[in-house]
Amino acid sequence: MKFHIRGACLILGILAFCAFTPIVDILQSFLSEDLADEYSQHGVVREDSFGMSDYSYLGPGSWNESDYHLDQTPSTKVLLMAYMRGGSSLLGEVFNQDPDVFYWYEPLTQFYSSLYGVPPTKNYKTVVYKQAKYDKGFRYLQPWEKQALANYINDMFSCNLVDLPPEVFGNPRFMRHPRATQQFYECYLSHSSFNNRGKPVKAENIKDFTFKDFLWDNTCKETSEVSQFCGKDGAGIEPRCQTIFKAVANWNSSVGPVAFLKSISQETGLPQSILDHDLDHFLAHQVCQERIHGIIKDCVLKTNLLATCHNSPVQVAKVLRVKMTNIPAVLEAVPDIKIIHYVRDPRAIAYSQAVKKKKGDGKPGNFVVLAKAICDEMSRDLFKRSEAQKINPDAFLQVKYEDLVKDPKATVDVMYAHIGRKTSHSALNWVFEATHSEDSETRFGTKRKNALEVTEAWREEVDPAAAREVAQFDLCRSVLRKLAYKV
């Protein structure tokens, strides 16, 4: 049985109760029975929440300001701009191995999940392409999205953890990879198990669980079904969902449900009937988020994550979901940022994407469609970068994946010189081992004796006719020429 917030209050005659009850109790009261059972079973409801910025839609808070704000150590800020399946994990891990670096692993995945209300695994095409389809063309962010992006990157590099969306810390991919967040990751796992009914899991027992046994942000998005609403008809890339998220999180309990629905309807332009039907999904999402908020807050304190961030001389973020057209807004927000534009032969990227997108019949994705899409994306980035470099010539450095694989020392030296620091011996030793490994099953699949074979593997696998079609495509031919790749 599904019942809605307005109907529940009016039919049951408890308008006064709705108006003066704490927000968490209101949320729990108006979930559908199935959702209420789901969250009660996992013990997700907490009575504390904490404040975030305008784009994180969390309620007013119980963060102790003195606990979560430290004096910032001046740091070097580095943005690694790369492409999906472009070998960026290798580049990111180089910096992750540097003990002076606080490494942010693909933080835009979580940012867009917060902004659009969709699970992290489903937002790449939504962000980059029109109608979330490769063949529909490149999508430009709207002004409100650009500003939110710039604010987010600034908060991230300033270690303003209080102002970051909880999705950042409630995502296993972000927490699992960076060296600096390992203790936080273990703390989060130990407190977010569904099977232990809120009791911490001992560290030695974590290995006995799967990812599905823990509470992540995508759990909130999918179980509450809010992603179905936000991903429908472009709702996610309009500020409508963001408006509802913030309204629900900051709902003043003195405001009755009828007035509450009316105010959201006015802000979003959505009929009250639609909101009345779907609002319980947003309420369920907020209840789930409250559980995550509490775990994050506790683990940030227990693992001294804020101090670790503030005391790191270098902040590095690897991103796949920001394009050069949005960089001017980022440069305005973070004027001293250094940007490494990490490129790879677009045909190699397309081949890797095609293999990754194998269908049920085992056949790869369409190489030609993927190659043309990535050429379009890279062409636009190169053009916008050339414009931005006229204003900020010292901000940008182009690095090729192939160069990092073939000559890691020279490439790493150039990158560290660009950011104004001495080359890290730890980073250099790691990348040397990774690219010289005798083990063909290394994490990144690269070893020195077959480095050339790795970078050129697509030539042996792609149908020659398809390769010729791509090479003759104007945008691809232009990109290959600009980046000095053989046709």
CA 417/CA 340 separation, integer angstroms: 12
Listed range (180-194, 330-344, 413-427) with the worst mean pLDDT: 180-194
Residue pLDDT, tens place only, 229-277: 887 666 667 788 888 888 888 887 777 778 888 888 888 888 887 777 7
Residue pLDDT, tens place only, 79-132: 999 998 888 989 999 999 999 999 999 888 888 888 888 777 666 666 667 766
Beta bridge partners of 79: 317, 339
CA 397/CA 377 separation, integer angstroms: 18
Q: Which CATH number fits domain 76-99+314-482: 3.30.590.10, 3.40.50.80, 3.90.79.10, 3.40.50.300?
A: 3.40.50.300
Listed range (17-26, 89-98, 334-343, 388-397) with the worst mean pLDDT: 17-26
pLDDT at 446: 47
CA 196/CA 230 separation, integer angstroms: 31
Closest Cα to residue 144, out of 246, 266, 289? 246
Q: For 268-293, what is the mean pLDDT? A: 83
Q: For 143-169, what is the mean pLDDT? A: 88
pLDDT at 452: 60
Residue pLDDT, tens place only, 469-479: 999 999 999 99
pLDDT at 11: 30
pLDDT at 381: 95
For the purposes of burial, counting CB atoms within 10 Å of the CB of 471, is it exposed (0-12), middle (13-18) or buried (19 or more)? middle
**Domain limits of the chain?**
1-48+100-313, 76-99+314-482
